[in-house]
Chain A
Amino acid sequence: MDFKVRLSRFLRFLFPLAVCLAVWELLAFFDILNPNLVSSPSRIIWKMYELVFPNPILLVYLGRSLYRLALGYALGAVFGISLGILMGMNRYLYWIASPVLSLLISIPTIAWVPLFLFTVGIGDETILLAIFLGCFFAIVYNTMNGIRSIKKELIWASQIMGADRKIIFLEVLLPGASVSIITGLRLAVGYSWRALVGAEMLASISGGIGRMIYAARAFNDVNTMFTGLIIIAVGGLLIDHLVLGWLEKKTIEKWGMVKKRE
């Protein structure tokens, strides 16, 4: 895409935001809105600056949150994809596990947190478990569906042509399920992001973005809360667009399994 087109698209995306921020700032400036309750963009930006210089507490928290997210997500992805493949390939396992899965999938992740607080205690382990559970189910479900949706004829065809189990697995099942697996991975990023924020509020003892928002309530510190919200929004958007968009482009778009995104 042409650089100019991209830039104009980006500016067009930013324009409504800029208008809203300007209106907000003006309303707060003329005391129409109570600044102690709703703050104002300039105060929030100043707060962000204060949180980074001289003591980069915001970056430390962000680092911790991202570390938890990465670890929990990686665990969820590894176990989720493996179990999903097993459930997709083995009919009996599917019969037994899929009802259990559909029962567990309907439980909000946050409901597990009090239980983990009980069993593994307050701290990182609980947050990790929550993130793991948050993304695990979506990945298992989509991987399983991906494998099960592959047409029998494709497997038969490759068997006739002399493919052994290993080749069928690597060259038929995995690529065939990849669209679905990546959909699951993509959904799971949102889920684990959500689980991270919730679990940090209830169970963190060493900071994190979710904890920061929650702790600021005790001081009625609206600026810090908005800072946290902005970071969560932008972070979620960046992870989805940059990391997963890149992954999608490198894999399934290249193999021609989905249409290129506009």
Chain B
Amino acid sequence: MKTGIFNKSTSRFFLQAIIVFAVFMSLLLLWEAISFFGILNPSLISRPSEIFLDMWKLFLKRSPAAQSVLLVHIYSSLYRLFLAFSLAAGVGISLGILMGYSQRIRWFLEPLITLAMPVPGIAWAPIFMIWFGFGDPTIISVGALAAFFPIVYNTTTGVRSIEKEFIWAARSMGADRKTIFFKVLLPSSAPYIFTGFKLGLARGWRTIIAVEMIAASLWGLGFMIFDARDYLRPSIIYGGIIILAVVYLFIEGLVKLVERRTIAKWGMVRPEAM
């Protein structure tokens, strides 16, 4: 397949990357120049250089536990995402498999899920705050709830999409229930489960950032952004938004890597909607 490092598509890719970089840089320069000449109100719209400097200062600033403040913010959000996602994946996959297996369970749970799925995660936050108070328990459980629905939905679809013939074939070759489950059901619903993971990760991340803003918790990127508003520090808001984007692109890259290593290797990638 490979004809060299610089085949046509890679050179095009590099060309595009250079153009994009140039466009980004010139936009930043333009922004900087306009603010430099005082056309934009500096208390509303910060300069790129100022944003960068303030982020750097926040990086150097030490928390009471002598860690970098910026890194602790990022770490707290990621930690919450990790816990929420693990919880959602555990419950979501088990329930999804049950719903895929048993018509009765599906019949009972499907209406409940259909109704609860479109509710935005953040709408649950005030109720969870009454139950669990401020801080981590609320943020993590609301994040887990938000991530749960896409996972359970896609797992069910995955288990149901298996062709009956596969199971019959395995059975006629003498496979017992355990073997059928691990060697037929799980692998063939894996792509769907993975789609659910991706959607759940995105939903969980969004919800956690949002809940961090209202269930004040001292740490977390959402809290950092919302808190900066009180101190009239737009540069931290801009910087926080950029960091949010970068962190999420990083997570997405990680997911793609895992996908390449597992599902793509087994040759089971599903075509994707958005």
B244 within 8 A of A: yes
A219-262 at interface with B (beta carbon < 8 Å): 220, 222, 225-226, 228-229, 232-234, 236-237, 240
A174 at the interface (CB under 8 A from B): no
Report chain B residues within 8 Å CB of A90: none
B115 touches A110 (CB 8 A): no
Q: Is the CB–CB distance between A193 and B126 below 8 Å?
A: no
- Confirm or deny: A95 has a beta carbon within 8 angstroms of a beta carbon on chain B: yes
Chain A's nearest CB lies how many Å from the CB of B2? Answer: 25
Contact between B19 and A95, CB atoms less than 8 A apart: yes
**In the complex, chain A residues 31-55 whose Cβ is within 8 Å of any chain B Cβ:** 37
Asked if residues B126 and A217 are in contact (CB atoms below 8 Å), the reply is yes
Query: How many interface residues does chain B have, given as a range?
Result: 35 or more
B107 at interface, CB cutoff 8 A:
yes
Q: Choose from B107, B126, B229 the contact partner of A225 (Cβ within 8 Å).
A: B126
Inter-chain contact A232/B225, CB cutoff 8 Å: no
A-side contacts of B123, CB under 8 Å: 197, 210, 213, 228-229, 232
Docked Cα-Cα span, A15 to B108, in Å, equals 8
Residue of A nearest to B131 (CB): A37
Chain B's closest residue to A201 (CB) is B214
Count contacts between A and B, CB distance < 8 Å.
140
| A1 within 8 A of partner (CB) | no
Given contacts A222-B130, A229-B119, contact A106 B274 (CB under 8 A): no
Q: Are A16 and B109 in contact (CB under 8 A)?
A: yes
Kindly state whether residue A56 has any CB partner on chain B within 8 Å. no
| B70 contacts the other chain (CB 8 A) | no
Q: Is the CB of B44 within 8 A of A118?
A: yes
> How distant is the Cα of A187 from the Cα of B16 in the complex, in angstroms?
29
Q: Are B205 and A108 in contact (CB under 8 A)?
A: yes
- Interface size counted on chain A using CB atoms at 8 A: 58
A window 84-109: CB within 8 A of B: 95-96, 99-100, 103-104, 106-109
Q: How far is the CB of A214 from chain B (nearest CB, A)?
A: 6
Q: How far is the CB of B165 from chain A (nearest CB, A)?
A: 23
Contact residues of A: prevailing secondary structure: helix
A37-B131, A202-B213 known; A233+B119 contact, CB < 8 A:
yes
Kindly provide the distance from the CB of A121 to the nearest chain B CB, expressed in whole angstroms: 10
In the assembled complex, B96 has its CB within 8 A of some CB on chain A: no
Question: Bound state CA distance, A225 and B123, in angstroms?
Answer: 9
| Contact yes or no, B126 A214, CB < 8 A | yes
Question: A95-B19, A213-B123 known; A237 and B244 CB under 8 Å?
Answer: no
Least CB distance, B102 to chain A, in whole angstroms: 14
A227 to B20, CA, bound (A): 48
List CB contacts (< 8 Å) of B103-118 with chain A. Answer: 107-112, 114-116, 118
Judge whether A119 and B126 touch: CB under 8 Å: no
B interface secondary structure, majority:
helix
Q: Does A80 interact with chain B (Cβ within 8 Å)?
A: no
Chain A proximity of B122: nearest CB distance (Å): 5
Q: Residue on A with the closest CB to B112?
A: A16
Residues of B84-102 whose CB lies within 8 A of A: none
**In the complex, A183 has a CB within 8 A of chain B:** yes
Q: Report the minimal beta-carbon distance from A93 to chain B, rounded to whole angstroms.
A: 11
Q: Tell me the B206-241 residues at the A interface (CB within 8 Å).
A: 206, 209-210, 213-214, 222, 225-226, 228-229, 232, 234, 237-238, 240-241
Give the complex CA separation of A95 and B16 in angstroms.
7
> What is the bound-complex CA distance between A12 and B205, given in angstroms?
34
Query: From residue A103, how far is it (CB to closest CB) to chain B in Å?
Result: 5
Contact present for A111 and B274 (CB under 8 Å): no
Chain B minimum-CB-distance residue to A212:
B126
Q: A229-B127, A232-B119, A240-B118 are contacts. A119–B19 as well, Cβ < 8 Å?
A: no
Q: Is A117 an interface residue (CB 8 A)?
A: yes
For B228, what are the chain A residues with a Cβ–Cβ distance below 8 Å?
114
Show 5 A/B contacts (Cβ-Cβ < 8 Å), sorted by A: A12-B107, A16-B108, A17-B111, A106-B248, A108-B244
Q: What is A's interface to B at a CB cutoff of 8 Å?
A: 12-17, 19-20, 37, 95-96, 99-100, 103-104, 106-115, 117-119, 138, 141-142, 183-184, 187, 190, 193-194, 197-198, 201-202, 210, 213-214, 216-217, 220, 222, 225-226, 228-229, 232-234, 236-237, 240
Beyond A16-B108, A183-B273, A217-B130, 10 additional contacts (C-beta under 8 Å) are A15-B111, A16-B111, A114-B213, A118-B229, A138-B274, A184-B274, A197-B123, A198-B120, A202-B214, A213-B123
- The 7 A-B pairs with the shortest beta carbon distances in the complex, nearest first, are A194-B120, A236-B118, A108-B206, A217-B126, A110-B210, A106-B248, A114-B229
